[in-house]
Amino acid sequence: MLSRLSTIIPYRSTWLQFLPIRLCHEIGNSKKEGSPIPNENRNLGIAVSFGTMLLFALCSCPTLAYPQEAEIREIGFSERLPYGMQPVDYLGNAHNDAAKQLQGRLADGRQQLEFREPRGYLDSVLRALSIPHASQLLVFSKTARNQRLINPQTPRAIYFNDESSVAWVPGAEALEVMSVDPLKGPIFYTLSQRKVELPRFERRTDCLACHAGSTTLQVPGFMVRSFRTDANGTPIDGYSQVTHDTEYAKRWGGWYVTSGHEVDPHQGNRYGRADEVQEIPPATGDLSKHFDASAYLNTKSDVVAHLILNHQSYGLNLIVRVNYESRLQRKSDAEERLLRYLLFADEAKIEKPIKESTDFQSQFERRGPHDSQKRSLRQLELTTRVFRYRLSYLIYTDVFRALPSDVLQRLFDRLTNILRGKDDTAEWEYLPEEERQAILEIIRDTRAHLPASWALDRVN
């Protein structure tokens, strides 16, 4: 009986832990793009609250002793993964993400967080996690916590880097933090906005109610969605998964998007039903003209930051999916999907070039690492595509380097064959020889930042 249960139980105790995820707001995991949201599913608060009670009740149960599977099991890409099992043990306390490391520094006095009105701990947390202010993105759709506070006049602010993100809403009781553990993927926290002697990041497993479904590839993950909203920010219809493959006409519904000039048509900067749509001019560089932005760190929701987040969020989810499959001895086509995504094989084309250099862009490009010719995988192109060299900088992240060695070797072998022209299938023809050679030279010169198992001495 235990053996049979171990093949169907994804968390720590019983199948009932599926319920919080199944009860999640329809907009989180809908596979039907552009569909209206049923009235009965609009109250995210009810679903998450019920899911929260179940998770906290059931996650306290002892972990079942799951037998180790001897053979790799073929599965579909959309199949759920039992990430509560060993060796992943997602709900266990063993993790080493940036927020947990910061908590350790706070506990032993090596670092302090400063509380300052009107943003509480936000400024200090961003500084401690090395998250730039320029990464600020503003979303006014009610598709997250604090729905009663979020609307087009008081949008939710999101700040991010490669491994962490922080969300802040004016007047909210807590900051929301996601921080990536190399083996477990995103870990979710809140940080109370009450001034205390020792601020504490509280881990939140209830976030899995939305952040572990089809939208996130059935693993704990990041979500970027696009929903047309009414004048109060309530979602009407839209798309539950936005990646760098998504055409621009479908992106950024429910978000503000700032740029010094007109960019490709998109769904951002507008709200209201068909007969009452309010729209901000397409070339908006300063949102303070449209709502009181004095409490925010700046008045922008940078289009380039949007492009990076659209690429990064789904890419990290793919990496976590590949990691979990390998460690849980499952196998779908996730590795091939990850390879194609890292090489931007299906990237949506930019029609209207993004001309100006923003603060976010300059900070992002400076991070490198750079090769001997000052080139980097972070260099942006922004004329017909996002990046100049089409191999994702995500290969430098800890979560990518933590992939099992056999997975890394397969990815490396496929990657180098493609870049050397040994894989001459038509699907890679979009990469010209000059760009392939540049990418090979960049990864050779930046080997110190790449997986140790990659035999970069053979790259030429």
Q: Does residue 30 carry a pLDDT above 70?
A: no
Strands 73-74 and 330-331: parallel
Share of the chain above pLDDT 70, in %: 83
Say if CB 459 and CB 416 are below 8 A apart: yes
**356 confidence band (pLDDT: 50, 70, 90):** confident
Tell me the per-residue pLDDT of 67-111, one tens digit each, with 9 for 90 and over: 455 689 999 999 999 999 999 999 999 999 999 999 999 999 999
Q: Does residue 396 carry a pLDDT above 60?
A: yes
> Residue 69: its pLDDT value, please?
53
> Residue 15: its pLDDT value, please?
36
Q: What is the mean pLDDT of residues 1-16?
A: 35
Distance separating alpha carbons of residues 399 and 422, to the nearest angstrom: 28
Q: Give the sign of the dihedral formed by CA 12, CA 17, CA 18, CA 22.
A: negative
> Residue 9: its pLDDT value, please?
37
Q: Does residue 452 carry a pLDDT above 80?
A: no
> Residue 455: its pLDDT value, please?
60
Q: Does residue 115 carry a pLDDT above 70?
A: yes
SS3 340: helix
Contacts 24+ apart (CB under 8 A), 199-208: 199/106, 199/113, 199/121, 200/103, 200/106, 201/99, 201/100, 201/102, 201/103, 201/177, 205/55, 205/56, 205/59, 205/91, 206/20, 206/48, 206/51, 206/52, 206/55, 206/56, 208/20, 208/21, 208/55
Say if CB 255 and CB 226 are below 8 A apart: yes
**456 confidence band (pLDDT: 50, 70, 90):** low
Longest dimension (CA), the chain: 64
pLDDT, greater one: 65 or 387? 387
Tell me the per-residue pLDDT of 253-283, one tens digit each, with 9 for 90 and over: 999 999 988 899 999 999 998 778 888 877 7
Report the chain's mean pLDDT, rounded to a whole number.
85
Q: Does residue 26 carry a pLDDT above 90?
A: no
Q: Does residue 316 carry a pLDDT above 90?
A: yes
Say if CB 27 and CB 225 are below 8 A apart: yes
Tell me the per-residue pLDDT of 154-173, one tens digit each, with 9 for 90 and over: 999 999 999 999 999 999 99
